[in-house]
Amino acid sequence: MTASSGRIGLRLLRQHPVRLVILDYPMPDMNGGAVAREIRRTHPHVPILMLSGQIDVPKRTSSTVDAFVAKGQPPAVLLQHLTVLSDGGTGKRPPGRVAVVAHDMT
């Protein structure tokens, strides 16, 4: 499932079981850091991966997310992080969806 803003993403997180969140940093209405902090407050066990072209995110943000992947890195890097975060490398995926919250995923 996808959301075009942080507020919409947080609303979807409240309405649906989610096993992993992928965030961008620059987004309308709330940046990815604010969204990640709110997810930590309300859903502390949901892993958060930040996928962004902005590599100079504040330390407070990078310490809130579980992994950071810069846009433009090889797809294998993203897939490796997704595998570890979504199932701990066990191959057993917990129930729920992957939520992608970003303004521009290009």
Per-residue model confidence as pLDDT tens digits over 46-99: 999 998 888 788 788 888 899 999 889 998 899 888 888 877 655 555 555 555
The predicted pLDDT at position 86 comes to: 79
The mean pLDDT of 28-46, rounded to a whole number, is: 91
**Domain ranges, ordered by start, for the chain:** 2-101
pTM: 0.81
The CATH fold assigned to 2-101 is Rossmann fold (3.40.50)
First-to-last alpha carbon distance for the chain, in angstroms, is 17
The predicted pLDDT at position 106 comes to: 46
Whether residue 25 has pLDDT greater than 90: no
The 10 Å Cβ neighbour count of residue 73 is: 11
The predicted pLDDT at position 95 comes to: 56
**Distance of alpha carbon 35 from its chain centroid, rounded?**
9
